[in-house]
Amino acid sequence: MCGFKKRKEFIEELCTDTWMELYRYIYYKVQNREEAQDITQESYVKAITYLMNNDLTVHRIDSYLKCIALNIIRDRWRKKKKNGFSVNIDEANEELLATEDFTDYLAEQDEVEKALEVLTKDQQMVIRLRIIKGFSVEETARLMNKKKGTVRVLQFRALKQLEKLLARGD
Amino acid sequence: MNKIRRIDRYINTLNKEKRPLEHGIKAYSEEHDRLTGVVRRVKALGEIKYPNEDFEKRLIKAVTAEIPSGNEATDGGRIATGTKRSNGMRLIKSAVAITAAAFVAAFIMLSVADQCSPKESSSFVYAMEKAMQAIKAYHGIIEYSEINGLGETVLQSKKEVWADSKGNYYVKELEGVSKGCITVNNGQMKWQIRQQEQVAYIFQSFPDPYRFSFELGRELEDVRRALTIKEVGEDSISGRETLILEITPDAGLPYRLWIDKESKLPLQRESAMQNALMYKMSYSFIEFADAIPDELLSYELPAGFAEINNSQQQLVAGIEEARKITGIQILLPDKIPDGYFLDKIAVVKSEPSIQLYYNKKESIAMTDSVQGGFQKTNPLVVIKGSPAGEFKPEPGSLLGQIGGSRAEIIDDGLIVSVRWQQEDMEYTVLGNDSMEVIKAFIRGMTDGELLIRENNRQSAEEPQIKVEVDFEAEENQQKNVDAGHSPWLLDPVYVSQVFASLLLSPEGITGDYPVPYEAIELVENDGVSARAVIHDDKSVARVVYLKRLVRQDDTGIWTVIGYDTDNIK
């Protein structure tokens, strides 16, 4: 009973201290709340189960959790291609993962913003309204005084253009 | 489905915060995969949508339940005895401690970054939250100054303040026009002793619109809502080393905050220069304590002072007494949310109304405090009174439904209030708690469910005549409103009035508006979209459709996007 209580307290402490940072990391990758919540939960279950069954030294729990989360995302998204792969948890570069979101994020944001600026005014508007602001096609069409079909085509072309610009920057 | 529609559907799914089929279930073309990747990269420029407040609790429960049950008794025992298998658990536990410190360290690390992303801003917030968790009460001296365009500083006022995590406070004016004035709220009552007038005023403890400027809990809330946080330098305040942050709030001009490097708490705040004036608030002294001294939270009328009781409420011993005094035959709610208890009952004879004050059990209050608030532990109040005339929601309030009746919902960022009429009674449930808790109290009062239209949902009604909108012009209008101009644009009723009046007088309006404000009824408002009906025969527009196009919160301006010339559909 005592052991169970300790385990419960441990899970509670671990989740309380780390979930927000982990959730932010996952949300950044998947860009939707439903999946981010789901993967956050799965990451803890996998991380704790793995630790229970392996003699493993973890120096940075935040990096370790992110590593597990990254594996889950990759596994899930690649299942459709029957080509699953995973990061080796034991060998993952924890330092790199820990700093990834703080350092790379700024450069990433900057790169996307710069690419957006290259688009035509209408393309920029459609991307900002539809994706960043989250308006529906109907609302975007009304705001831009265009037909819904035109908005969809404009949006598609803008994304194609962005893809090229971002690939060039890579 | 063609590729254009497919990418459109993907965007729609992400906008609804749902998992798209592409994320592990269905594969399309490589081109589609690349484009969905671009969509996610662009969407990452927007805000992170966090889970509901109870996510942490649900997460802990689910993880505890999902860890293989065979390990429950045995592995836990191994941890205690220190066998090899428990090794990992031990290491990870110590790592948690390291990680907690690492998060705070990240706060310092981030300071070298030039411009913080929303994600990094969250780390600033996290560091401040962590720091607030450790504080039970604090005592400080705050100086409020005005700085003119020449850089000259004039002290406006100086206050001695005490505040605690239960929401109690004590404020004494040391300098300024109200010198000597003492304001106290001890959770049971609020009073103000004015030395110059030799009068003590008594007020209701809750709701309490006044606290004091530069309260640490409030600063944390402001930083939490900030759009960006930028580190712009370092400084020394009263011998303490600080980081200077430039914060762009969700509304208004950027301001600067000096954060103590050691405690991670704000020590000084400076507004932007506007009309050649800026305002500075600074803690010249601050210390932390276990509690506010009892003598400061005890009311005693000073000798020779008159007492004016502005609180018309009268505490009663029980619900029976409340019924007798007011004539309102109510029953106490059958069910209240877990963790709450009925703290006291009060009546106001003149209305008449019965007020049921609930409070949180210690365990819940502690959880709130951990969530980083010095203001989240106030009691929740339920008021029940007889209706005063026809039910008229406040202009600008959100509208919902309870048991088929219209409900007015007001959320000022600190207190949520829901008011509605039902069976010849008017109910108000208010508190500085989550909407889920407020809804649970509503269910307990009436068995009714509060229904709020989903934000930004496409209205079922389409306007007969669409109004062309210049988005750039609207963005400029929003900037004007942020700077304090044209506040009427924040009121959907006023915007409807001006629009309907201009349809009648396109050349401009002189004198009174041809369509009176009182003739306009807001029939839908979910905070993003609204619909107003105009009860005035001479008005061309009979129904006006509005939307918050630039910013979808309380600080966003309303824009007319269409109107009907026929009566209500």
- Please report the domains of chain B, with CATH numbers, ordered by start residue: 3-43 (no CATH), 131-289 (2.50.20.10), 312-452 (3.30.200.100), 465-564 (no CATH)
Segment B311-331, tens digit of pLDDT: 777 888 888 888 888 888 877
Q: Give the 3-state secondary structure percentages of chain A, helix then strand then coil, rounded to 5.
A: 80, 0, 20
B438-453 as b/e: b if 16+ CB within 10 A = bbbbbbbbbebebebb
Contacts of B390 (CB under 8 A, 6+ apart): none
| Cβ-defined contact of A55 to B72 (cutoff 8 Å) | no
Which of B48, B11, B24 lies closest to A72 in space, CA to CA? B24
Residues A124, A95 share a domain = no
To 5 degrees, how large is the angle CA B351–CA B355–CA B359? 160
**pLDDT of B87 higher than 90:** no
- Domain assignment present for A107: no
Segment B329-353, tens digit of pLDDT: 877 877 787 778 887 888 888 778 8
- Nearest-CA distance from A167 to chain B in Å? 10
**pLDDT of B211 higher than 90:** no
Gyration radius of chain B over CA positions: 27
**pLDDT of B98 higher than 70:** no
Chain A nearest-CA residue for B11:
A131
Confidence of residue B446 (pLDDT cuts 50, 70, 90): confident
Encoded tokens for B403: 């048991």
- Domain assignment present for A144: yes
- Domain assignment present for A73: yes
Reported in sequence order, the residue ranges of B106-181 that DSSP labels E, i.e. its strands, are 137-148, 153-164, 169-175
| Ordered DSSP codes for B463-495 | -SEE----HHHHHHHHHHHHTT--GGGG-HHHH
By CB neighbour count within 10 A (0-12 exposed, 13-18 middle, 19+ buried), where does B267 fall? buried
Q: Once rounded to an integer, what is the mean pLDDT over residues B398-412?
A: 83
Contact (Cβ atoms closer than 8 angstroms) between residue B180 and residue B173:
yes
Amino acid at B105: A
Last residue of a domain, one of A66, A101, A136: A101
- The residue written with tokens 């004494």 in the block is B172
Which candidate in A5, A17, A51, A53 is best for mutational testing of the B interface (most B CBs within 10 A)? A51
| Cβ-defined contact of B89 to A52 (cutoff 8 Å) | yes
Q: Once rounded to an integer, what is the mean pLDDT over residues B354-367?
A: 64
**pLDDT of B207 higher than 80:** no
**pLDDT of B3 higher than 50:** yes
- The residue written with tokens 């920057």 in the block is A169
**pLDDT of B46 higher than 50:** yes
Segment B502-518, tens digit of pLDDT: 998 888 877 888 999 98
Confidence of residue B1 (pLDDT cuts 50, 70, 90): low
Contacts of B210 (CB under 8 A, 6+ apart): B183
Q: A124: domain CATH number?
A: 1.10.10.10
Reported in sequence order, the residue ranges of B349-469 that DSSP labels E, i.e. its strands, are 353-360, 380-385, 398-402, 405-411, 416-422, 425-431, 450-452, 465-466
Encoded tokens for B312: 């018309």
Segment B141-186, tens digit of pLDDT: 999 998 887 778 888 889 999 998 878 899 999 988 888 999 999 8
Chain A nearest-CA residue for B97:
A17
Which candidate in B2, B5, B17, B56 is best for mutational testing of the A interface (most A CBs within 10 A)? B17
| Cβ-defined contact of A31 to B12 (cutoff 8 Å) | no
Higher-confidence residue of B36 and B273: namely B36
Q: Once rounded to an integer, what is the mean pLDDT over residues B482-498?
A: 87
SS3 label, residue B378: coil
Residues A133, A90 share a domain = no
Which candidate in B13, B23, B561 is best for mutational testing of the A interface (most A CBs within 10 A)? B23
Residues A70, A23 share a domain = yes
| Beta-carbon contacts below 8 Å between A and B | 260
Q: Once rounded to an integer, what is the mean pLDDT over residues A28-49?
A: 91
Beta bridge partners of B37: none
Confidence of residue B43 (pLDDT cuts 50, 70, 90): very high
- pLDDT of B62 reads 87
By CB neighbour count within 10 A (0-12 exposed, 13-18 middle, 19+ buried), where does B290 fall? exposed
Residues A47, A124 share a domain = no
Please give the tally of structural domains in chain A: 2
Residues of chain B found within 8 Å of residue A30, distances taken between Cβ atoms: 19, 23, 40
The length of chain A in residues reads 170
Residues A58, A3 share a domain = yes
Contact (Cβ atoms closer than 8 angstroms) between residue B126 and residue B103:
yes
Last residue of a domain, one of A67, A101, A135: A101
Higher-confidence residue of B451 and A127: namely A127
- Domain assignment present for A58: yes
- Nearest-CA distance from B30 to chain A in Å? 11
Encoded tokens for B400: 């919902």
Contact (Cβ atoms closer than 8 angstroms) between residue A148 and residue A137:
yes
Higher-confidence residue of A3 and A154: namely A154
- Cβ neighbours, 10 Å, residue B141: 17
Residues A97, A22 share a domain = yes
Cα B544 from Cα B492, distance rounded (Å): 10
Residues of chain B found within 8 Å of residue A66, distances taken between Cβ atoms: none
- The residue written with tokens 């671990």 in the block is A14
Contacts of B377 (CB under 8 A, 6+ apart): B165, B166, B167, B360, B365, B368, B369
Encoded tokens for B170: 């004590």
Reported in sequence order, the residue ranges of chain A that DSSP labels E, i.e. its strands, are none
- pLDDT of B395 reads 74
- Domain assignment present for A56: yes
Confidence of residue B432 (pLDDT cuts 50, 70, 90): confident
- The residue written with tokens 């004035």 in the block is B181
**pLDDT of A84 higher than 80:** no
Interface of A with B in 18-37 (CB under 8 A): 18-21, 23-24, 27-37
Chain B nearest-CA residue for A4:
B76
Q: Where are the alpha helices (DSSP H) in B306-434?
A: 319-326, 362-370
Domain that holds residue A22: 1-101
Residues A131, A62 share a domain = no
pTM recorded for the entire structure = 0.48
Confidence of residue B459 (pLDDT cuts 50, 70, 90): low
Residues A133, A87 share a domain = no
Cα B503 from Cα B492, distance rounded (Å): 17
**pLDDT of B224 higher than 50:** yes
SS3 label, residue B283: strand
Contact (Cβ atoms closer than 8 angstroms) between residue B364 and residue B341:
no
By CB neighbour count within 10 A (0-12 exposed, 13-18 middle, 19+ buried), where does B149 fall? exposed
Contacts of B359 (CB under 8 A, 6+ apart): B340, B341, B343, B379, B380
**pLDDT of A32 higher than 90:** yes
Segment B238-258, tens digit of pLDDT: 778 888 998 888 666 789 999
Residues A152, A77 share a domain = no
Peptide bond into B209 cis (omega under 30): no
Encoded tokens for B222: 């402001």
**pLDDT of A124 higher than 70:** yes
Encoded tokens for A153: 């085509």
Cα A72 from Cα A86, distance rounded (Å): 8
**pLDDT of B225 higher than 90:** no
| Cβ-defined contact of B103 to A21 (cutoff 8 Å) | yes
State what percent of residues in chain A have pLDDT above 70. 75
SS3 label, residue A81: coil
- Domain assignment present for A1: yes
ipTM: 0.88
Mean pLDDT, chain A, rounded, equals 79
Residues A70, A5 share a domain = yes
Q: Where are the alpha helices (DSSP H) in B341-419?
A: 362-370
Chain A nearest-CA residue for B14:
A32
Which candidate in B63, B75, B85, B551 is best for mutational testing of the A interface (most A CBs within 10 A)? B63
Reported in sequence order, the residue ranges of B165-227 that DSSP labels E, i.e. its strands, are 169-175, 182-185, 190-194, 199-203
SS3 label, residue B99: helix
Residues A145, A67 share a domain = no
- pLDDT of A144 reads 87
The answer to which of A90-94, B232-236, B261-265, B433-437 has the lowest mean pLDDT is A90-94
| Ordered DSSP codes for B75-91 | HHHHHHHT-GGGHHHHH
| Cβ-defined contact of A142 to B458 (cutoff 8 Å) | no
Residues of chain B found within 8 Å of residue A136, distances taken between Cβ atoms: 12, 15, 456, 458
Residues A125, A81 share a domain = no
Mean pLDDT, chain B, rounded, equals 77
